[in-house]
Amino acid sequence: MSYVKRMIHFFWPAISDEDISRFGILSSIYFFLIGAYWLIRVMKDPLFASLVGYSYQPFAKMVSLITVILGVLFYNKLLDVLRRNTLFYSLALFFGVGFVIIGYCTLPTTQVFLENPSWLQWVPGRFLGWVAYCFIELYGSLMPALFLSIIASTISASSAKTGWGLLAFFAQLGAILGAGLVTLYTKTLGIGVLFAIGGASVCILPFLMRWYIKTTDIEASSTGEKPQKTSMIEGLKLILSRPYVAGLLVVTVTYEIISTIVEFQMGLCATQIYPTAADGGAGFAWLKGLQGVSTNTLALVFALLGTSFFMRKFGLKFCLVSYPALIGSSIVILLGMYLCGATTYTLMWGFFASVIMYKAFSYTLNNPSKEVIYIPTSKDVKFKAKSWIDAFGNRTSKGIGSTVTASLGSHFPTLFIFGSFISLGLILGWILVALFMGTTFNKLQEEQKIIE
């Protein structure tokens, strides 16, 4: 155990022995939660294509958005009925058992029994494909948000700054291993068995959370206290009525709009360099695979060496502002390359590097920073407003980005110029909000106040 502590202190020297115990358990929870999510997430589209048909995927996204909204409303109601830790146990078992059942139903020996009943004949493909797609989206919307809300309720800002790097490192490790299992064992084990493995991993979460509560002696703290009853849309009301909470929305979702635009631009360049008619999409698939490996590798290294260091050394305001500034700088560089006559091949790799940077630093710099600024807020902000921001806000922002690319995507020069200036305008507003959030957070910490 002392060897493990020495290793942790080597990479995160400012973390205390008490926080090593606390963040060690939290990291194991996050490892299984994110690992299971990535394991199942990368099989979402292949499973849907197999059971329904990939041409229906845009409709599945629309249906899943409705499902997520209804799920968030029900989740907010459960927050008024159940204690936070009990809700975590219940949702983890619900999703874990659900994934195991989906895995069993998609085994080659059982799929024959999954034909739609007569009253569902109007549904394209097999109904299970639609259920599985929405179920995965619901898990990704609720479980990470609930877990991070519990963290924000049970640790201090100073502990978060020193220990979040450890948490981010294990989350990235889980993501790499989860996706890697699918890459290595899909052909030998099959999608059904891998789904069951993901479900079993989720079922472990309640036991780890119970261990965290017992070990850190927080039974009577925010995870275990009796919830107060409020409206099902209380979180939405808080976003609309509290500038600080609205700022949380901006800091969380603006990246998604810009990333959607830039990643689409990369895709347009890639399809010209690697035309699908020539190789059946193998070249484009190779590029996307390289993007995934590069993103997670960079994120893993930064979580190991940079997350806690930057938060502790430069402060939260710097971290909140530096991320949009970094994105803005990359867009200016790309715009300069384009105006100077860069080839499509050069632009593709420029977009490639930018997308990797956006995603990697989103996971390990922006996300940890925005989770810390939830600390000086009330329980309704941490749990209810956060559920709306993480679930509905993120999906809406992706929809806005897709609207830009859909309306301008038929002509690459128009998309690039207008998309770049739209992104830069959003970044300017984002930086101003980030400055406000960082200043307000520091003031709340000094005055020991919270946003209610």
Percent of the chain's residues with pLDDT above 70:
88
Among 41, 33, 149, smallest CA distance to 85 is for 149
User: How many CB atoms are located within 10 Å of the residue 215 CB?
Assistant: 12
Position 95 scores a pLDDT of 95
Structure tokens at 398: 């992706």
Position 50 scores a pLDDT of 75
Structure tokens at 190: 């099959």
Structure tokens at 372: 């810390």
Q: What angle do CA 343, 346, 348 make, to 5 degrees?
A: 110
- The boundaries of every CATH 1.20.1250.20 domain in the chain are 15-229
Position 428 scores a pLDDT of 94
Task: Name the amino acid, one letter, at 366.
Answer: N
Q: Which CATH number fits domain 15-229: 1.10.1200.10, 1.20.1250.20, 3.90.1170.50, 1.20.1440.230?
A: 1.20.1250.20
User: Residues in the chain, how many?
Assistant: 452
DSSP string, 178-195: HHHHHHHHHHHH-HHHHH
Position 150 scores a pLDDT of 86
Structure tokens at 97: 């058992």
Domain boundaries 230-452, CATH class: mainly alpha
For the chain, residues with pLDDT lower than 70 are: 1-2, 54-55, 57-58, 109-125, 217-232, 276-286, 288-289, 409-410
Q: pTM, whole model, 2 decimals?
A: 0.79
